[in-house]
Amino acid sequence: MAAKFSVVRGTKDILPAEAERFNEIKSKAGNIFSVYGYRQIYTPILESKDLFIRSLGEETEIVGKQMFLIQREDNDLVLRPEATAGVVRAYIENNLARTEGFVKLFYIGPMFRAERPQKGRLRQFHHIGVEAIGSDDASLDAEIISLADSILKSLLIDGYEIKLNSLGCLSDKKRLSDTLRNILSDKLNLLCDDCQGRYERNVFRVLDCKNKACRKVISGLTLKRSDYLCDDCLAHFESVLVNLDAIGVGYTDCVYLMRGLDYYTRTVFEITHAGLGAQDAIGAGGRYDNLVEELGGNKTPAIGFAFGVERLILARNKEIENTLDNNLVYIIPLGDAAKRESFKILSNLRAAGIISDTVYTDKSLKGAMRKANDLGARFVLIVGDDELAKNVVTVKDMKSGEQNQISRNNLIEELKC
């Protein structure tokens, strides 16, 4: 069957097997969000273009090159490239500061960036993230990082690294960009063409460049936090580290971690996974203590992070994924009378909350057994004339291969334990 249409470049269909991985991640992360006291928020996928220009910054790659623009009447809308700006807009617009004060929110949903697609880099991908708005307490920074760490542990992902830095307050950031320009000024000719432009427009981005020559220059730099952080911001950062040490969350102190978005201040972090190749960031976040004010609210400190769900899936160990539980009970009727009875059994099992299904296409026992195997069924129930006469069903345990006849009256009880 030749398809007349294909999926849009950089987007993908999430077929049932992957959707299950997706849902498992959502549900495990969702549990941990609740344990940490975060409540869900849904904001629209469509937002105004200006929201992102104002929050991420005109000079960022996302705003400059990657937004999917939708022009309608006199509105410039975009498909959101990230969720932080929309959550902050919602926080201000719905007056959450007045009604709820300090809020801890989480979200799960699709984001859109017109990037060059490659492994782990899509044009439509999903974020699972949190935003805690209304406190500058350093232990909240540690909570957020520990939350990210707990999610990775619950997904049995290992081999990741949490890189941590502080950009300081707005005046520190200015001092940082001046310091960076200063130490790079005599090495400008060694940087790639893009970075020569970045040096002028947004020098932080030079430090993210993947170009080999630029990496070499960056690795030779000597930057110290005390060169640009004020006493308050230095104390805040040290307190974040003390809190993380106290709860045993590991991190790498990384003074060159800058993050590509303008709204960040003070703590920034990125979580990378060595197994992912070029697109190795599985999640990232940080403080944005001026964004609420920048978007029209009162001065309100905040912090958050987001994981890329597709990258979490790539980072998960395949063997672990294959051992996911599947509790499906699959009924195979043999003959018309059995089919009618099986339909009743199926209905009773479902009413009792047992995941169950039956064969709709394969008429032969062999074909139906193959289908049950493909679906990874835990038990197969076979119902034929013999079983009908004795008011039993034959239950095959697909793990052990054992087969027993069980009375229909005890079936639900037996399958439940």
Residues interacting with ligand HAM, by CB under 6 A? 82-84, 113, 115, 120-122, 125, 127, 129, 131, 281-286, 304-306, 308, 310-311
- Rounded to the nearest whole angstrom, what is the least distance from the CB of residue 5 to ligand HAM in the complex? 23
Nearer to ligand HAM, 304 or 333 (CB): 304
CB of 205 to ligand HAM, least distance (A): 13
Say if CB 81 and CB 51 are below 8 A apart.
Answer: no
- Beta carbon nearer to ligand HAM, 131 or 143: 131
CB of 34 to ligand HAM, least distance (A): 19
Residue with Cβ nearer ligand HAM (271 or 338): 271
Q: Which is nearer to ligand HAM, 280 or 341 (CB)?
A: 280
In angstroms, give the least distance from the CB of 33 to ligand HAM: 14
Three-class SS string for the chain?
CCCCCCCCCCCCCCCHHHHHHHHHHHHHHHHHHHHCCCEECCCCCEEEHHHHHHHHCCCCHHHHHHCEEEEECCEEEEECCCCHHHHHHHHHHCCHHHHCCCEEEEEEEEEECCCCCECCECCEEEEEEEEEECCCCHHHHHHHHHHHHHHHHHCCCCCEEEEEEECCCHHHHHHHHHHHHHHHHHHHHHCCHHHHHHHHHCHHHHHHCCCHHHHHHHHCCCCCHHHCCCHHHHHHHHHHHHHHHHCCCCCEECCCCCCCCCCCEEEEEEEEEHHHCCCCEEEEEEECCCHHHHCCCCCCCEEEEEEEHHHHHHHCCHHHHHCCCCCCEEEEECCHHHHHHHHHHHHHHHHCCCCEEECCCCCCHHHHHHHHHHCCCCEEEEECHHHHHHCEEEEEECCCCCEEEEEHHHHHHHHHC
Which residue is closest to ligand HAM by CB?
A: 308
Look up residue 18 and give its two tokens. Answer: 């992957």
Bridge partner list, 347: none
172 vs 270 by CB, closer to ligand HAM = 270
Residue closer to ligand HAM (CB basis): 225 or 311: 311
Tell me how far, at minimum, the Cβ of 114 lies from ligand HAM, in Å.
Answer: 9
Q: Which is nearer to ligand HAM, 84 or 358 (CB)?
A: 84
Tell me the closest approach of the beta carbon of residue 117 to ligand HAM, in angstroms. 8
Cα-based torsion angle of the residue sequence 203, 208, 211, 216 in order, rounded to the nearest 10 degrees: 80
State in angstroms the smallest separation of the CB of 135 from ligand HAM: 14
Quote the least distance from Cβ 87 to ligand HAM, whole Å. 8
Smallest gap, in angstroms, from Cβ of residue 260 to ligand HAM?
Answer: 7
- Give 72 or 210: the residue with its C-beta nearer to ligand HAM: 210
Between residues 81 and 333, which has the closer beta carbon with respect to ligand HAM? 81
